[in-house]
Amino acid sequence: GQQVMQIPQYQHVQEGEDFTTYCNSSTTLSNIQWYKQRPGGHPVFLIQLVKSGEVKKQKRLTFQFGEAKKNSSLHITATQTTDVGTYFCAGPRYGGSQGNLIFGKGTKLSVKP
């Protein structure tokens, strides 16, 4: 069945270091979304990418959608303690109704001050 995989599962960085998480889908996606969940919180929508090769930036966060629309990455420059949390990617579930998403397991980021 359709799978969305994320690596790494965990990442520990020193504050100020960069961080990247990768998302790979077993199927071509019409779009990909990224969410952040702080410890003890709920997922919060960050961004949606739609076009092949698309790159979007939000301050220190850079999101990229692969040319084949099967992979994506999130890069954080100069991490801060406020970046701590789990980052999820999600794409439309194949054969599902509109809005039905399949999520990756997430990458848990910890930042040492």
Partner 1 sequence: ETGVTQTPRHLVMGMTNKKSLKCEQHLGHNAMYWYKQSAKKPLELMFVYNFKEQTENNSVPSRFSPECPNSSHLFLHLHTLQPEDSALYLCASSQALQGYGYTFGSGTRLTVV
Q: Where on the chain is the footprint of partner 1 (CB under 8 A)?
A: 4, 30-31, 33, 35, 41-48, 50, 88, 90, 93, 96-106
Question: Closer CB to partner 1, residue 13 or residue 47?
Answer: 47
Question: Dihedral through CA 107, CA 25, CA 36, CA 105, nearest 10?
Answer: -50
Distance in Å, CB of 4 to partner 1, minimum: 8
Distance in Å, CB of 16 to partner 1, minimum: 29
Question: Closer CB to partner 1, residue 17 or residue 103?
Answer: 103
Q: Which residues contact 101 (CB under 8 A, 6 or more apart)?
A: 33, 90, 91, 92, 93
Distance in Å, CB of 51 to partner 1, minimum: 13
Q: Considering only CA atoms, which of 26, 98, 17, 58 is closest in space to residue 6?
A: 26
Distance CA 83, CA 75 (A): 11
Helix (H) or strand (E) holding 34, with range, is strand 32-37
Question: Closer CB to partner 1, residue 18 or residue 52?
Answer: 52
Q: Are 43 and 88 in contact (CB under 8 A)?
A: yes
Question: Closer CB to partner 1, residue 60 or residue 93?
Answer: 93
Distance in Å, CB of 93 to partner 1, minimum: 7
